[in-house]
Structure 1
């Protein structure tokens, strides 16, 4: 009941409070934005995540520290992306612990629709997963992550974004994924979102989740974030802290 009451308060805050923020990031929510980094600019989005998952076979504690995404604008509406993270996983039942670097992800995001007089933006994102991780953590196969990202500006302070995607990790049928994020600027510095998300693993097993988060614009080019999430039809929870920095291209001078 306490969890439901919190989500109700969060929903009220997202819907009815706000004023505009300026920096657009792909964290901390699961929904990738439909915006790209400007040509010549570099955006670094990094964070720490503490998580816990449990099923019939295992009970695992997770530490991802840091998870870092580099986004660089190579053209107007086109960015290249590199993502990697350090992982520490511990199974409570077997006491088995695995530490190391995850498989490297390299990809791009391409803007498909971004016009001033239209409140809808659309982008396509694709990552290749390279089997470069530590021995105990690598998937040992090439994979891919793909998403269509769509967003709607509902008002000056309220926005709706959603992703539909397909992931393949080198075996099986792959996973269908979705996320829907409703976000608002509460003040010029503070933002908030609520988000259901999930996946249909191997076109067979469905997992549903929910998360909420806040962002704080420390400077025009620096944003802090906090989020936490939980599984709806399975045992999962996490808490995350992060920071994003935008390094913009210097303006040409005579």
Structure 2
């Protein structure tokens, strides 16, 4: 797994200098945008392109423009899993992330798992069946764009968050803080590469203990037409309790319906054991 990540990182590193020869600005909306805030919104004419944090695991380093709202939703997502004699699935409905731009580089976000239907079974022990459904946990987040702006070829961001145990049986059962540092490099107007490092303090309700999981990612996105683009993403999961890597590969197309509306769908495919297989349909829009 480490060799695979190293190879991908080397490819991205070698691609960057060649791509940098294209000096044309990609988001050419140059103006002094520091003057804008929640109560003095950024004019639409100089808003940066919408870059949602979905559909992959890798988040965007760009905050929402000051004074504007953005909504991103898993309209529908199916997770399936099987490990030995145990198996199960989850249905998600409208797991959303709502954002508001506070300044040109900072936004505040609220995530809510609006509806979850989770079912777990054990073919060796029918009494171990667990079924639950309802509204899940709430997460509060703040994103800061550290480096990069509309006229930059690359950007670096920082996201701090805490997940609150509001979801009962369909939630994780405990407070879960975390930090994510995403980055992106725009190789050309159509092709970008990126990734992130993330640390999350998960809560295991079965043993009433927290544990740390690290989640590095590498991703690439290509804009085939004005409407159609697609991404491929490699995700690693390092659970400090087990000291072992798990990984998945995520792929899917995105449809840019307009400058302010985007549809996406795709799948997360496990590379190793103990990773859920996922299928999703989502939407993002802003005003």
Normalised-by-shorter TM-score class: 0.7 to 0.9
Report the 3-state secondary structure (helix = DSSP H, G, I; strand = E; otherwise coil) of the residue aligned with 1:174: strand
1:55 equivalent in alignment to 2:89: no
2:270 aligns with 231
Matches within 5 A, 1:92-103: 92-93=121-122, 94=126, 95-103=129-137
Q: Distance in 2 between matches of 1:224 and 1:237?
A: 21
Does structure 1 residue 31 correspond to structure 2 residue 70? no
Give unpaired runs (5+ residues) of structure 2.
Answer: 1-14, 16-25, 28-48, 204-208
Matched, 1:197 2:235: yes
Deviations 1:207-248 (A, max 9, x none): 11001011101122111111101110115311100111111x
- Displacement of 1:117 in angstroms is 5.2
Q: Report deviation, 1:131.
A: 1.2
Of 141, 153, 156, the match for 2:174: 141
CA contact (8 A) 1:152 1:160 kept: yes
Residue 214 (structure 1) aligns with:
253
Q: Distance in 2 between matches of 1:81 and 1:246?
A: 13
For these two proteins, the number of residue pairs brought into alignment is 228
Match for residue 168 of structure 1?
Answer: 201
Find 1:89's aligned residue among 106, 109, 118.
118
Shift of 1:201: 1.1
The 8 Å contact of residues 49 and 239 in structure 1, kept in 2 or not, is answered as yes
CA distance in 1, matches of 2:246, 2:181: 20
State the secondary structure of the residue aligned to 1:169.
strand
CA shift at 1:145, angstroms? Answer: 2.2
Q: Which segments of 5 or more consecutive residues in structure 1 lack a partner in the other structure?
A: 1-14, 248-254
RMSD: 1.9
Q: Which segment drifts farther, 49-58 or 99-108?
A: 49-58
Q: Per-residue deviation at 1:55?
A: 1.8
- Structure-2 separation of matches of 1:146 and 1:57: 35
